[in-house]
Amino acid sequence: MKKILGLVAALMITAFTFAQSTVTFKDASPSYNKTATSTFNFTFSAVHTPEDIKSNAAYYESYFTVTVTPAGEAGNTVTISLVEDNEMARRVIMRLLVNLDIKMIMVNGAEMDRNDFMTKYIMVD
């Protein structure tokens, strides 16, 4: 019985941890124009530490810079600024999200798959 309760408790903690790893895209608005912007603003939950975000972003410094600002209980405010606004730099943002194991992004209160998000809000046709 103790093993079953322990297993249930572990599963609940694991589920709670995954539920807290949200990333929110803050720029989405009716006037948002992905072709006119080269800076993207996010809020990462506290699951992603500033050190973790910065160390992963360090691999892509030739494509973009990442600024991480602590936002209290909300986690961290992350600004990604393209060094040069081109297709490859925008595509590499996907690599950062993959490295941080981000599968879903919240946009205006709705959860969106990473690939759909990139197509709709980052990549230029």
Instruction: Return averaged pLDDT per consecutive 10 residues of the chain, 125 residues in all.
Output: 63 50 90 95 94 95 96 92 96 95 94 96 91
Alpha carbon 116 to its chain's center? 13
Is residue 62 within 8 Å of 83, Cβ to Cβ?
A: yes
pTM of the model: 0.81
What is the reported pLDDT for 95?
96
Does domain 21-122 correspond to CATH entry 3.30.460?
A: no
- For residue 117, the SS3 value is helix
- For residue 55, the SS3 value is helix
What is the reported pLDDT for 20?
47
Structure tokens at 1: 């019985």
